[in-house]
Amino acid sequence: MNGRVIRGMPDHFFVYPAYLHRGRTRAGGRRVPLSLGVPSEVSVTDIVEAARRLGWQAEIEQDKAYPRTAFEGTGRVRVRKAPGLTKSEALRRLAREIPKITAKSG
């Protein structure tokens, strides 16, 4: 793709807390390897902070919910895409960054 923007493709992706939670299965919504999964339920605030520490623009959409668990109402984070970075790699980087944040606050 050579870093080009494809017409019609969004310039962002969404991150639900379930994508990063170690306690979920792949079928249950986890999108990172188990070894990178965050051991406790992660908040949208933690995801935004991790994204910003990685130099990405991110904002919370609190009124949204992960479709598989819509009753939980966890919200989601809209992250602006970084050139040349896939969503999978972005999720892995977030999963590595979040423990650094939660260790400071805990």
Q: Give the tens place of pLDDT for each residue, 78-106.
A: 999 888 899 999 999 999 999 998 776 65
Domain of residue 87: give its range: 12-105
Write the CA distances from 79 to 3, 39, 104, integer angstroms. Answer: 17, 22, 23
pLDDT of 3 above 80: no
* CATH code (residue 19): 3.30.56.30
The number of distinct structural domains making up the chain is 1
Has residue 4 been placed in a domain? no
Q: What is the pTM of this model?
A: 0.84
Average pLDDT over residues 73-78: 91
What's the CA gap between 57 and 82, in Å, rounded?
9
The single residue listed with the structure tokens 């999978």 is 88
Has residue 6 been placed in a domain? no
